Amino acid sequence: MTTVIAAPPPPTRDTVPPPSPSGKRRVEPIYYAFLLPSLVIFTLAITVPAIIGIFFSFTNSIGFGDWDFIGLVNYAALFSDPAILQSYLFTFSFAVTTVIVVNVLAFLLAVGLTARIRAKTALRTVFVIPMVVSGIIIAYVFSFLFSNSVPALGQALGIDWLSESILANPDLAWIGIVIVTAWQSIPGTLLIYIAGLLSIPGDVYEAADLDGASKRQQLWRITLPLVSGYVVINVILGLKNFLNAYDIIIGLTNGGPGTATRSIPMTIITGFTGGDYAYQMANAAMFFIIVVVISVIQLRISRGRNSV
């Protein structure tokens, strides 16, 4: 016995939403119902305070009480303030150095953890553990290590420069911050690189083996070009995160010794609580503009490359 399956009825006017007068597809009202609450919260929590803060950056307000409009005085003062210039120099030097360290180490680890080795799944789990630990907790743990365990080891080995805490040295404290930040940031970057490496077809490497390409040649001429989009993603995300570094620096050095490791976010927040509200709002607005310009440049440089 043959079973005949009836074809579904053709769409009617009641089942197909009518097009808009402009010919574009009509947006269902439910989309706006989901969008509106998020838009309202974002506007009230971020956009409105940002606009108010930018307005007060043109005043002499200390955060409360009376204030007067003073124009661009705060912005002009930023370029001649040694503390502000020092914070910008440290922040950008730290961010660029950490981006390089994190991406190089994470990529090498990703190559190793996607190779044909035993227990690579367990190793991947171990390497992502720092990702789930709070930054301030990590900072306090490493602060104890740098201040007690490492100097004790240096004294036992007779290494003078290692016998004192690098966090107390104005010239070396930034190295400790880079180490701790990289330790926490490598897992997230590692996962992105692993995803990129696993997306490369195995046939590509088999063809390269048949052509006699060495492992180094495969790395430079196959792997790196094919994961360049993932490199761009990690560089953009890393630079953004490291420019806003705060909790690890607070836990390790609190901006010291002196102001040697004081980042821009630390300078801004310290000014808010120290009576420099309008001045630091001008600093925050300037920092925001610089970060936006850097982001636009990064996106333009990455345009045209293979996307992920």
pLDDT above 60: residue 130 = yes
Q: What is the pLDDT of residues 152-206, one digit of tens each?
A: 988 888 888 788 888 988 888 999 999 999 999 999 999 999 999 888 888 888 8
Q: Is the Cβ–Cβ distance between 284 and 207 less than 8 Å?
A: no
- Cα diameter, the chain: 93
pLDDT of residue 212: 84
pLDDT above 60: residue 18 = no
pLDDT of residue 308: 46
SS3 helix, strand, coil % of the chain, rounded to 5? Answer: 70, 0, 30
Torsional sign, CA 166, 168, 174, 180: positive
Average pLDDT, the chain: 85
pLDDT of residue 19: 55
Residue 139 has a CB neighbour count (10 Å cut-off) of: 23
Comparing C-alpha atoms, which of 272, 278, 283 is closest to residue 56? 278
pLDDT of residue 183: 93
C-alpha to C-alpha distance for 306 and 226, rounded to whole angstroms: 8
pLDDT of residue 125: 78
CATH code for 73-302?
1.10.3720.10
Q: Residue 102 corresponds to which tokens in the numbers above?
A: 């994190």
What's the whole-model pTM score? Answer: 0.82
| Domain boundaries along the sequence of the chain | 73-302
Comparing C-alpha atoms, which of 199, 186, 178 is closest to residue 106? 186
pLDDT of residue 118: 74
Q: What is the pLDDT of residues 32-46, one digit of tens each?
A: 888 898 899 999 998
* Mean pLDDT of all residues in 81-87: 93
Between residues 4 and 259, which one has the greater pLDDT? 259
